[in-house]
A = this chain, B = another copy of it.
Amino acid sequence: MEKTREILVTNDDGYQARGIHVLTQMLRGYGNVTVVAPREPQSGKSVSLTLDKPMMFDVVEKTNAGDGLGSLRVYTLTGTPADCAKLGINIYLKEGRLPDLLVSGINHGSNASAASIYSGTLGAAVEGTLYGIPSVGLSINTHAEDPDFAGTLFYGGQIIDWVLADGIKRGVYLNVNIPAIPKDQIRGIRMARQGAGRWVKEFDHRVNLRGKHYFWMVGEFEDQEPVGAPDADHHLVDSGYVSIVPHRADTTDYEELERLRENWKLDR
């Protein structure tokens, strides 16, 4: 059977990270894969774009389809994950098509709770969503460089099967977080919401030998969910479940829109 699906892959740990290599190999089982990945790690870049400097581009690899695997082309860009997703989409558009799927990851580290706000992994997924491409961010809950990806590949594959079969609502992308435990200890998949939390004590203040003050960003995660709160993604992952949060690219709060219109007596 000819592989006709086209899949765009990026990440925020950079193209040399283990997670994107493992993901790419898995996705070649689904179709032809185009990787446009940041040349350097880009953690915490959110949906940021590179507007004030040029982005260098390189062709790293081109491999034909064969042995039941789709073709592979790998490019790098000195940009953010959102830049990379945009470039990948533009490469496809120049070929007169769009990819059938965008997958960003496998991120080394959780993107649950407030991490979803800062995540470059998900920033790339936002870009796919703006083009109507079903887009998934995939993360494993450890910063280890070479973790056991068996559970991630198994459950990630299950979720990609569902997305390819059923699609996702337009304007929505999925944030999938997978516990970093052996595959047979994972308790299953749960739909989830963005759990409440934030980082506190974020600044390590130092003074250099010239008397200049500077800060390193650090911080401790403060969980703002009560114990036993249902559906919070970071709690589910901590409890051994794979969490799937559907996030919206349109972040309007429609209820508050109506409430303020009435409260402030504004015309339509």
Within 8 A of B (CB), among A219-265: 230-231, 244-261, 263-264
The yes or no answer to A9 lying at the interface (CB within 8 A) is no
Interface status of A74 (Cβ within 8 A of chain B): no
Residues of chain B within 8 A (CB-CB) of A212 are 56-57
- Contact A217 to B166, CB < 8 A, known contacts A193-B254, A268-B230: no
Q: Contact between A191 and B118 (Cβ–Cβ < 8 Å)?
A: no
Known: A172-B253, A214-B55. A46 touches B46 (CB 8 A): yes
Pair A257/B191 contact, Cβ less than 8 Å: yes
Interface string of A145-189 (1 = CB under 8 A from B): 000000000000000001000101101100000000000000011
User: In the complex, what residue of chain B is closest to A126 when comparing beta carbons?
Assistant: B117
Known A87-B203, A198-B130, A267-B188: A51·B56 in contact at CB below 8 Å? no
Q: Known pairs A86-B203, A169-B256, A188-B266; list 16 more (Cβ under 8 Å).
A: A44-B48, A44-B50, A45-B48, A46-B46, A46-B48, A47-B117, A55-B216, A83-B217, A90-B203, A117-B126, A117-B130, A166-B264, A190-B268, A191-B260, A231-B268, A248-B253
Is A54 a contact of B260 with CB atoms below 8 Å? no
| Contact between chains at B48 and A217 (CB < 8 Å) | no
Q: Report the copy number of this chain in the oligomer.
A: 2
Residue of B nearest to A190 (CB): B266
Decide yes or no whether A114 CB sits under 8 A from chain B.
yes
The verdict on A116 contacting chain B, using a C-beta distance below 8 Å, is: yes
**CB of A70 within 8 Å of the partner chain:** no
- Min CB distance A194 to B, Å, is 5
Of A86, A169, A253, chain B has the most CB atoms within 10 Å of the CB of: A253
Q: How far is the CA of A238 from the CA of B118 in the complex (A)?
A: 31
Q: Are B246 and A253 in contact (CB under 8 A)?
A: yes
Determine the chain B residues whose CB is within 8 A of the CB of A71 once the complex forms: none
